[in-house]
Structure 1
Amino acid sequence: MELDHFDRQLLNLVQEDASLTADQLSDSVALSVSAIQRRLKRLRASGVIMRETAMVDPKRIGGSTFYVVALQVERERPELLTQLRRWLTDEPHVQQAFYVTGEADFVLIVTAPDTETYDVLMTRMVSENANIRRFTTNVALGLVKRGSAIPVPVEVS
């Protein structure tokens, strides 16, 4: 799908705040409300906009700790990696999972209300995925920045 200047502007704006109305978006993008609605509908239907979510403040829901986990697997056989990917995708405490190069095979961002919950989760992960060799954990001491927006260049060459 070809993205033009207006699509790119809209993508940056809705990534920052998906609750903006077409009327509010038209104040920033030089298009009519109906044109913005049509474009957003097309961006959603084509899968460019995969989903829209709300970002919750961990402190206001009783707190949550973030863990950065480096995970190594025994073998990179496709069926074993597929099983692990499915497990990671289905687990709500796993916020993000990256298949990476380097010493680790996966890097995970995991959230849990406390270390006991985290320990139970990781014990379950290892017991349900025999292909895991080892993992290391870094506990986030503070939240400096949290986001999911991908900067979209408005002008393309």
Structure 2
Amino acid sequence: MLDDLDHVLLDALQRDASRTLRDLGEVVGLSPSAVLRRVQRYRAGGLLSHNVAVLDPRHVPEVILAVCLVTIEDDTPEEGRRYRARLLDTPEVQQAYEVSGDYDYVVVLACVGMRHKNEVAKRLFQEDPNVKRYTTLFVLDPVRTGTVLPTRRP
């Protein structure tokens, strides 16, 4: 159960996890040790899973971002687990979503150059007999990228 301070603290952490405990405490009105206890609780409960540096793709011009729309042939739970495992084991997969509608998955790839993208697509989509079809949309301009998730309604 999250209280109002948790929501504010989690928002601040998502926007900049490099802030000091003192700085975060000033944002939420808690002591640094109280902030630390909350952060430790988030980690222990699995709510806070990673602290990472997020690169702006506009500053890494050799990176190709591709959104792949995937339809699979057999959507049994066993095949779904197998395909999800392949997606999770592929470092170039930045995001993957099981979706409703005409496609089964939306997969976001980040690759270095077209050759690399083609190799990854071949491995994930062309060589998998359960992939019925896929479509690739190349990102021309990453207008907005982000990782911040809302923890409550505004």
Smaller-chain TM-score range? over 0.9
For residues 127 and 106 of structure 1, do their structure 2 counterparts lie closer, same or farther at Cα, with a shift above 3 Å needed? same
Following TM superposition, by how much is the alpha carbon of 1:126 offset from its aligned partner in structure 2, in angstroms? 3.0
Following TM superposition, by how much is the alpha carbon of 1:62 offset from its aligned partner in structure 2, in angstroms? 5.1
Structure 2 match to 1:8: 7
Structure 2 match to 1:137: 136
- CA deviations on 1:44-95 (whole Å, 9 max, x unpaired) are 1111112221102335445311101100000101111111100000101110
Report the count of equivalent residues: 154
Following TM superposition, by how much is the alpha carbon of 1:104 offset from its aligned partner in structure 2, in angstroms? 0.3
Letter of the 2:133 partner, please give it: R
Matched, 1:38 2:42: no
CA distance in structure 2 between the aligned counterparts of 1:153 and 1:136, rounded to whole angstroms:
34
Unmatched 5+ residue regions in structure 2? none
Matched, 1:71 2:70: yes
**Structure 2 counterparts to residues 75-86 of structure 1, below 5 A:** 75-86=74-85
Matched, 1:148 2:147: yes
Matched, 1:25 2:24: yes
Following TM superposition, by how much is the alpha carbon of 1:152 offset from its aligned partner in structure 2, in angstroms? 2.1
Is the CA contact (8 Å cut-off) linking 1:65 and 1:111 kept in structure 2?
Answer: yes
Q: TM-score, normalised by structure 2?
A: 0.93
**Structure 2 counterparts to residues 61-140 of structure 1, below 5 A:** 61=60, 63-140=62-139
Q: Which moved more, 1:146-155 or 1:76-85?
A: 146-155
Between the aligned residues of both structures, percent identity stands at 33
List structure 1 runs of 4+ shifted beyond 4 angstroms: 59-62
Q: TM-score, normalised by structure 1?
A: 0.91
Following TM superposition, by how much is the alpha carbon of 1:21 offset from its aligned partner in structure 2, in angstroms? 1.1
CA distance in structure 2 between the aligned counterparts of 1:30 and 1:7, rounded to whole angstroms:
11
Structure 1 match to 2:51: 52
